[in-house]
């Protein structure tokens, strides 16, 4: 006994989660997946491009 309220609350929460459609911030998701920080994105710098060098430094 006494599980009626808890079960009803769990059912309500589960129903809200199932049928709600939260707004997804696609730009932020893309930043997270690419590994770029928010400050890099705002500054217009590409952290990946900074790592690559066109000439071979190891041959010197």
> What local confidence, expressed as pLDDT, does residue 44 receive?
63
pLDDT tens, 22-54? 888 999 999 999 987 656 556 665 555 556 555
Residue 58 has pLDDT above 80, yes or no: no
Summarize the confidence of residues 1-16 as an average pLDDT: 90
Domain ranges within the chain, ordered by starting residue: 24-52
Name which of 41, 9, 11, 6 is nearest 25 in CA terms: 41
Dihedral of alpha carbons 17, 20, 25, 29, sign = positive
pTM of the model: 0.35
Radius of gyration of the chain (CA): 24
Would you state the pLDDT for residue 52? 59
With bands split at pLDDT 50, 70 and 90, how would you rate the model's confidence at 13?
Answer: very high
């Amino acid at each position: 006994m006494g599980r009626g309220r808890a079960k009803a609350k769990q059912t309500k929460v589960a129903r809200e989660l199932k049928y709600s459609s939260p707004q997804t911030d696609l730009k932020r998701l893309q930043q997270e997946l690419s590994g770029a920080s928010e400050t890099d994105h705002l500054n217009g710098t590409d952290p990946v491009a900074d790592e690559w060098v066109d000439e071979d430094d190891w041959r010197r």
